Structure 1
């Protein structure tokens, strides 16, 4: 009889656990995991068990996340919302997830990100994945505001790869004082400037591979030097243009080899004559640029001086010839003056003759 009672209680417990699992989701209390994968969900399902620590709601048709989306899920530590169609994340959407440590929003279409979209109580969030998540370039401004206002002082890893980013707003990471890993690979970043990397006092790894960096300006080099000495950099697969002016960057690469994980793999992409040349060798190969330019400047200055001397000499000869022919020139000027005077007097005389008949006709017309 006792065994039967125990079985009934066990069945009841199992039934309650099964009943608490949302439709079209899979729940495992033993693994503290709930999966709602590719179920064509339009919103976050209700009735998710309170024991859930790992929540996967991926590959659905969810378009919006709000403060009501995750109520009663204080135990969730890992939340994946990847491969949905989320376009808007409201402020405090994850505030109730007091133990949230990892948030994955990759492969979405975030167009509107509210200022406190990533705020989590207790500042427990450690990893934020926004790879392939931004809808367009304008959403990066919303992201910058959210990173400032969402109290992410304990965030350790941020993934912004594969977003087509052309630029990053000034001081976008300045409030992420505990950030250790920043992934910016496979974007379209053309430069590092404007205090983009300000505030990253504990950064350990910065991935800038597969961007559009042709060189790094002196301002960008200063920003990279402002990072902690222990920061490892990745710069591969960028279209470095090895022409005059890249020497400071090439020299910096040689000086900073210990920090650049792929330093030996960095190659020139342009011009064609320098393609596949190691960037570490560019410093010694192109240092003659300035020497050649200096030689060209000297040659050009010499040409200008020589041209000035020639022109001055020609001018002196011309003045000397004028001086020798001053009497003849004077006579020609007088002759031209007399010829002009005769022409003018002839024209005046003909005008007076032609005007006589017209005047007589006018007077006779008046008499009539």
Structure 2
């Protein structure tokens, strides 16, 4: 009998301890969210284990208050959040924040101050209309900014001030009509710029001049009809360039000639009529050239691809009216 009573007492103690542990743990994982340690890769593909709070697709109208302060990755994609006040201020260890597919109309409403360790920020598919000066100044360690598919029509000349460590900037599918080189003066280490699918009225000389370390530039779907000769001045390390789905009627060979490191060039889906002699002459590092889906292309002239020592891949697919001179490939 005494042994049975002792056992019952021990069992009761165990239940109490378990209940206490549960009550202590509960506030650190918001209801319906998933809290666990997951693999996380830096922009340089360095592997880490990161404490992750996943609150995606929960129809939340605000960020939960009871997120553990040691959270490193916070996922809030596909919710109904339109304003953040102080919910993020205690998350000083946050390295990745995903607020894509919410209802933010102003960058100031995202509550980004004090996130000094943030490396990756996703704000895709919101309704942000402008990026005013110094709006991201507190994100000193940010390396990736994804702000595609918003309504951005205005960017202040100092909007990216403080982002000296930024490596990747994705501004696709907004409403920009011009590119201001002043934007890039605060981004000396930028390697990837994706700014396609904006209704840009035209490029200007020295447009990207401050981006001396840029490796990849995407200018797809912008309605560009011509490229100024000096548009790419300063891009000595640019390796990849895409003009996919623009309105170019000729190869912009003078603008391309200032790119000594160019390896990959995409001119797919442009209304170019003829590839002329010398259009791609003397690109010492060009490895891949894509000239596909050109409805108006009728001819490739002899000598168009001369002296391309590194050329490994030339694509000329789905060009229904092309009469290809075989001598052009010799």
| TM > 0.5 fold call | yes
Tell me which residue corresponds to 1:15: 23
Query: Out of 258, 269, 272, which is 2:271 matched to?
Result: 269
Where do 1:153-172 residues align within 5 Å? 153-172=164-183
Q: Does the aligned pair in 2 maintain the 1:176–1:200 contact within 8 Å?
A: yes
Deviations 1:157-178 (CA, angstroms, capped at 9, x unpaired): 1000111322123421111011
> 119, 126, 137: which is aligned to 2:143?
126
User: Which of the numbers 104, 107, 110 marks the counterpart of 2:122?
Assistant: 104
Give, in whole Å, the separation in 1 of the partners of 2:94 and 2:57. Answer: 20
C-alpha distance in 1 between matches for 2:173 and 2:302: 29
The alignment partner of 1:145 has SS state of coil
Over alpha carbons, which structure has the higher Rg? 1
Deviation, structure 1 residue 65: 3.7
Unaligned runs of 5+ residues in structure 2 are 1-6, 39-50, 275-293, 305-330
The 1:8–1:201 alpha-carbon spacing in structure 2 relative to 1, beyond 3 Å, is farther
In the TM superposition, residue 205 of structure 1 has moved relative to its aligned partner by 0.9
Corresponding position of 1:47 = 66
Equivalent in the alignment of 1:181: 192
Tell me how far apart the structure 2 counterparts of residues 21 and 80 of structure 1 sit (CA, whole Å).
Answer: 17
Structure 2: distance between partners of 1:283 and 1:167: 36
Higher strand share: 2
Aligned equivalents of 1:167, 1:282: Cα separation in 2 = 37
- Describe the shift of the 1:189–1:154 C-alpha distance in structure 2 as closer, same or farther (beyond 3 A): same
Relative to 1, partners in 2 of residues 1:197 and 1:256: Cα closer, same or farther, differing over 3 Å? closer
Structure 1 counterpart SS, 2:217: strand
The whole-number CA distance in structure 2 between the counterparts of 1:279 and 1:69 is: 61
Task: Work out whether residues 87 and 110 of structure 1, in 8 Å CA contact, stay in contact via their aligned partners in 2.
Answer: yes
Of residues 208, 224, 228, the one that matches 2:219 is 208
Q: Does 1:235 align with 2:243?
A: yes
* Distance in 2 (alpha carbons) for counterparts of 1:211 and 1:260: 22
Alignment partners' CA distance in 2, 1:238 and 1:36: 39
1:63–1:86 CA contact under 8 A, matched in 2: yes
CA contact (8 A) 2:206 2:233 kept: no
Distance 2:61 2:239 in 1: 42
Instruction: Indicate how the Cα distance of structure 1 residues 35 and 253 shifts in structure 2: closer, same or farther if over 3 A, else same.
Output: same
Q: TM-score, normalised by structure 2?
A: 0.69
Contact kept in structure 2, 1:27 and 1:35, CA below 8 Å: yes
Cα distance in structure 2, aligned partners of 1:163 and 1:230: 24
Distance 1:282 1:60 in 2: 57
1:141 and 2:155 correspond: yes
- Deviations, residues 69-108 of structure 1 (Å, cap 9, x unaligned): 3121011111000000101222993232232110000100
TM-score normalized with structure 1 length: 0.62
1:38 aligns with 2:46: no
Aligned length: 267
CA distance in 2, matches of 1:15, 1:34: 18
| Equivalent residue, structure 2, for 1:296 | none
Cross-structure match for 1:259: 262
Query: How far apart, in 2, do the equivalents of 1:281 and 1:19 lie?
Result: 70
Secondary structure at 2:26 match in 1: helix
Q: Is the 8 A contact 1:172 1:196 kept in 2?
A: no
Give distance in 1, aligned partners of 2:158 and 2:25: 41
Aligned pair 1:250/2:250, yes or no? no
1:26 to 33, 39, 47: 33
Deviation at 1:3, TM superposition (A): 8.3
